[in-house]
Structure 1
Amino acid sequence: MEEGPVRFDTSGRLLAQERQGDNLAALSVSELSSLLKRTVEDRFGHVRLRGEISGWKRAASGHAYLCLKDDAALIDGVMWKGTAGRLAFAPEDGLDVIVTGKVTTYPGRSKYQIVIDSMELAGEGALMQLFERLKAKLAAEGLFDPARRRPIPMLPRVIGVVTSPTGAVIRDILHRLADRFPSHVLLWPVLVQGEGAAAQVASAVRGFGALPADGPIPRPDVLIVARGGGSIEDLWTFNEEIVVRAVAASSIPVISAVGHETDTTLCDFAADLRAPTPTAAAEMAVPVRAELMAQVAELGARMGRCVSRGIDRSRERLEAQRRLLPRPDVLLDLARQRADELGDRLRRGLAHRLSNARHELANATGALRPALLDARVAHARQTLSATRLTPALLERRLADAHRQFDALWRLAQSLNPDAPLKRGFARVMANGALVRTSTEALAARHVMLKFHDGEIAAVTGGGEETPRAPAATVNATSGAPRSTGGTRARKSDPPPGAQSDLFD
């Protein structure tokens, strides 16, 4: 290959060079992005755009990001935190909306997007679509289950009303309650349409439920959530999820009276009772007082008739029973006859008893003669004189008693445990108890030997390793030496607490 100088034409230059008469300066990427941004924003500074929401998400900062699309194109969108917080509905994928804002570019990705200033549903069709989606979602959670509905109290003491304080609704409710059954009404004023209305209605329902039963403000027994008629957009406050959940979670039974009879909101499905109009809600909340009074009067009359009928029937049964009973004089005839018979027997018995008593008294009187008493006294004196106590008899009995006493004393002396000690015996004691065998003496080790003239302490040989010859003692009677049976007396080492040796 031949080597030579490298040449490039103007279209394939290696280094960029300024050419004479060339006024097209090179732009940086940032400069081009800024030019495009200004151009787009100047041309499309305010646009209204219709499309379907896709990829809706809300960032932790509060900003919202989404895409708007149709059948052929797609554009990114962003909604800043302040704008997103003012939305009248909760956006979600699939909704057809109309947004207002300005088109701008995002240089970081060479993309264009729309910064949304406002968002509205694109007609009632989109609103109904949102309505159906939210209804299906809440129904799946069980908020519209008929089993959750509670009965409305028949005679509520206090009625709570959640509605606008300036509309005709509250006047219609108060007028109808005054006609039917005057009641204590508590009004919680709220906005029923516009920005912030849903939050106020939900807060009012929760506020009534939070009232204590014994607080300064009486707690309602039933709530009426009411609003006059209007379009679906006007009634949308009562389709908001926050309102529906507050009504479903209310601890007080709720009557929903939103719109006219043909209007339906999600609040109607969550309430315990739906009223076609606010006036009808007042009629459902309380009965007619006059009708109640008439009903009570009718029940009182029926009760009186029932009581009278029961008394009449009881009287008839009593009369029938009375006819079956015998006459009183017939019942008393037998008793009268029996009383007359007993009276006659009583008189005869008393006379007979009196005669017998008189006879017994006469006999006793005859036996109490003075001569008979004197004879009995003389006989008693003779018996007394014959009975004399002679000294010989007493001396003989005393002698017999002395002999018996001497025999008993000799027996007691023979049983005295100290008597053998005088004959040269000794009693062995250990720990205050009598030692009867050599085994007990060896086990006790320290023993006490008691003689008739004193006691000495001794130590047995049972605890020593080398046996020793038994010490010899002298019998107090014969003087002959005798073995102590392995027991040796120690005068120099008495056991603790023992009496000292008398021979020391």
Structure 2
Amino acid sequence: MDLLDDDDAPPRRANVPEYSVSEISGAVKRMVEGEFAFVRVRGEIGRVSRPASGHLYFDLKDGNSVLAAVSWKGNAARLSARPEEGMEMVAVGRLTTFPGQSKYQMIVEDLAPAGVGALMAQLEARRKALGAEGLFDPARKKPIPYLPDVIGVVTSPSGAVIRDILHRLRDRFPRQVLVWPVAVQGAACAPEVARAVKGFNALPEGGPIPRPDLLIVARGGGSIEDLWGFNEEAVVRAVAASKIPVISAVGHETDTTLCDFAADLRAPTPTAAAEMAVPVRAELVERVAVLGARAGRALRFGVDRRRQRLGDLARALPRGEAIIGQAQQRVDFLGARLPLALRSVTGRRRVQLADLRIGTGVLVRALRDGRRRVDVAGESLAPALARTARDAQRELEDLSARLDRAQAARLRFRSDTLGRLGPRLDPAARRALGESATDFARVAGGLTPALPLGRIARLREGLSALDRLRETLGYKETLKRGFAVVRAEGQVVTSAEAAAKAAALEIEFADGRMTVGGKPAAPPKKRPPEPPPEQGSLL
């Protein structure tokens, strides 16, 4: 019997249960999550979206299919690698469905580049991007200090790298070393290395912890995956921004990381970094000794050269005798003229003294005659004596006025005083007066006794002083000091030319004279002293 032809039989669709949309979506979700609770999917990164919520949305695709992927905010910050469009990566996570759009997607918990080729491509792309910002520019690299006092090392404290660095520094030039322990591989490597570099730069100058003068970022060799932390952007930016010079010593000589490009100096190995950080102490001591010896030789050479130059200049200067010879000759010439000048001055002073004596005599005669005015014109006096007489006449008139005003008691007092002082007066003056003490007091009663006689005494003292000066400054005293006077035909010879023309030379010494090549000449006869001029009678 054909059931299809049986009109009373219900169709088979009627036996299929009915599901709501949510029930179907839930069933599919449970089945997908149960079957694909942990999967690793390899594919090319497609569209990448990073909304403000912090979640990460991207696509995994191959030549035929596309798989939507999402990494929640908490996992996105801990991913080993950041997804970039066009990269081939391996995503680790689980599959689930999104009922709101009837699609399935992958919840990604970690990402890793798919093989070395992809890592190298990512490394090259990152190098170009950071290089375009100028982080690898050679112009911004800082010079390495020649001999740093403190060296900061960023590395693992348990590895062989730090021991190699310390050993090498101890052999070459011991320095103070500060170690900042960090993880040198894995997810924690990049952030810890970046914090260490920034932390060393944040140390204050003169603080309890000394601020390093040089940083060494070091790690031993390994694969590109092991060294990937030193290719991270955070490490590169921290090293490039460091104010302290940085030596990068990551891996072996063939290993290259982006940290090497950003550092101020790249070392092929950690041991080489220690050698670049400090010089060899023994070589430095030897170099200092060599430079010290060179400085000593240069100093001696400079002194010798300057001594020779000084000697050359000294030979070009005139001799001291030549410099002072003319001055000495002028002194000798003036010394020879000095006696004549003294005699001339003495003669003028003698004439003045004689004039004064004559004038005093005129005044005394006028007083004796009782005259209060002297007729100068009537006196037979020379013009110089006339002037002296006129001066004395003015004094006489003044004294006469004083006599008129004096009282008798004043006159007796002066007479008594003159009587007491008479013996003390100059004897020559008393002889000139030719009078007794009483007559002398009577004649000079109205005249101040000390006035003309005091002037005479002062003139005599001045004359004696000039005579002593003449004796002191005369050429005789000069001869006693070792000099001599050369004469020819009675004239003083003052030049070699005149001496050569003279037929004979007479040389005068302090103890006598002699002719050149002959016997000493007889000493000159001393002239008798000239008698003083006659004073004459004052009366």
**Deviation string for 1:99-133 (max 9, x for gaps)?**
22222222211111222233222111111111111
**In structure 2, which of residues 283, 296, 305 is the aligned counterpart of residue 291 of structure 1?**
283
Say yes or no: does 1:282 pair with 2:278: no
Superposition pairs for residues 361-380 of structure 1, below 5 Å?
361-369=353-361, 370-373=364-367, 375-376=371-372, 380=397
**Deviation string for 1:147-174 (max 9, x for gaps)?**
2112112222222221112212222222
2:262 match: 270
SS at match of 2:117: helix
Alpha-carbon distance, 1:142 to partner: 1.4
Q: Is the 8 A contact 2:97 2:105 kept in 1?
A: yes
Distance 1:326 1:257 in 2: 73
Q: Is the 8 A contact 2:372 2:400 kept in 1?
A: no
Superposition pairs for residues 277-426 of structure 1, below 5 Å?
277-369=269-361, 370-373=364-367, 375-376=371-372, 380=397
**Deviation string for 1:237-294 (max 9, x for gaps)?**
1100011011111122211111111110001111111111112112222222222222
Say yes or no: does 1:148 pair with 2:140: yes
**Cα separation, partners in 2 of 1:199 and 1:352, compared to 1, 3 Å:** same
Distance 2:97 2:227 in 1: 38
**In structure 1, which of residues 188, 193, 198 is the aligned counterpart of residue 190 of structure 2?**
198
1:244 match: 236
Alpha-carbon distance, 1:312 to partner: 1.4
1:185 match: 177
Distance 1:276 1:21 in 2: 77
Between 40-49 and 245-254, report the one with greater CA deviation.
40-49
**Cα separation, partners in 2 of 1:182 and 1:381, compared to 1, 3 Å:** closer
**Cα separation, partners in 2 of 1:21 and 1:178, compared to 1, 3 Å:** closer
**In structure 1, which of residues 77, 81, 84 is the aligned counterpart of residue 76 of structure 2?**
84
**Deviation string for 1:202-255 (max 9, x for gaps)?**
111111112222333222222111111111111111100011011111122211
Q: Is the 8 A contact 1:156 1:286 kept in 2?
A: yes
**Cα separation, partners in 2 of 1:342 and 1:214, compared to 1, 3 Å:** same
SS at match of 2:371: helix
Distance 2:371 2:22 in 1: 172
Q: Is the 8 A contact 2:91 2:108 kept in 1?
A: yes
1:212 match: 204
Q: Is the 8 A contact 2:183 2:189 kept in 1?
A: yes
Distance 1:311 1:382 in 2: 85
Distance 1:381 1:266 in 2: 124
TM-score w.r.t. length of structure 1:
0.68
Q: When the two structures are aligned, how many residues end up with a matched partner?
A: 371
**Deviation string for 1:84-112 (max 9, x for gaps)?**
22212222112211222222222211111
Distance 1:62 1:338 in 2: 111
TM-score w.r.t. length of structure 2:
0.64
1:170 match: 162
Percent identity (aligned):
58
Alpha-carbon distance, 1:327 to partner: 4.5
Q: Which amino acid in structure 2 is aligned with residue 372 of structure 1?
A: A
Alpha-carbon distance, 1:18 to partner: 7.8
1:160 match: 152
1:253 match: 245
**Which stretches in structure 1 are left out of the alignment for 5+ residues?**
1-9, 12-16, 385-504
Q: Which amino acid in structure 1 is aligned with residue 371 of structure 2?
A: A
Alpha-carbon distance, 1:22 to partner: 4.8
Distance 1:132 1:103 in 2: 32
2:463 match: none
**Deviation string for 1:469-502 (max 9, x for gaps)?**
xxxxxxxxxxxxxxxxxxxxxxxxxxxxxxxxxx
**In structure 2, which of residues 85, 88, 108 is the aligned counterpart of residue 96 of structure 1?**
88
Q: Which amino acid in structure 1 is aligned with residue 242 of structure 2?
A: S
Alpha-carbon distance, 1:57 to partner: 2.3
1:111 match: 103
Q: Which amino acid in structure 2 is aligned with residue 308 of structure 1?
A: R
**Cα separation, partners in 2 of 1:331 and 1:63, compared to 1, 3 Å:** closer
Q: Which amino acid in structure 1 is aligned with residue 119 of structure 2?
A: L
Q: Select the structure with the greater relative contact order (CA < 8 A; seq sep ≥ 6).
A: 2
SS at match of 1:316: helix
Q: Is the 8 A contact 2:60 2:68 kept in 1?
A: yes
**Deviation string for 1:424-473 (max 9, x for gaps)?**
xxxxxxxxxxxxxxxxxxxxxxxxxxxxxxxxxxxxxxxxxxxxxxxxxx
Q: Is the 8 A contact 1:99 1:120 kept in 2?
A: yes
Distance 1:35 1:26 in 2: 13
Q: Is the 8 A contact 1:89 1:240 kept in 2?
A: no
Q: Is the 8 A contact 1:223 1:255 kept in 2?
A: yes
**Deviation string for 1:393-420 (max 9, x for gaps)?**
xxxxxxxxxxxxxxxxxxxxxxxxxxxx
Once superposed, what is the RMSD of the aligned Cα atoms?
A: 2.8
Between 228-237 and 328-337, report the one with greater CA deviation.
328-337
Q: Is the 8 A contact 2:267 2:273 kept in 1?
A: yes
2:30 match: 38
Q: Is the 8 A contact 1:77 1:113 kept in 2?
A: yes
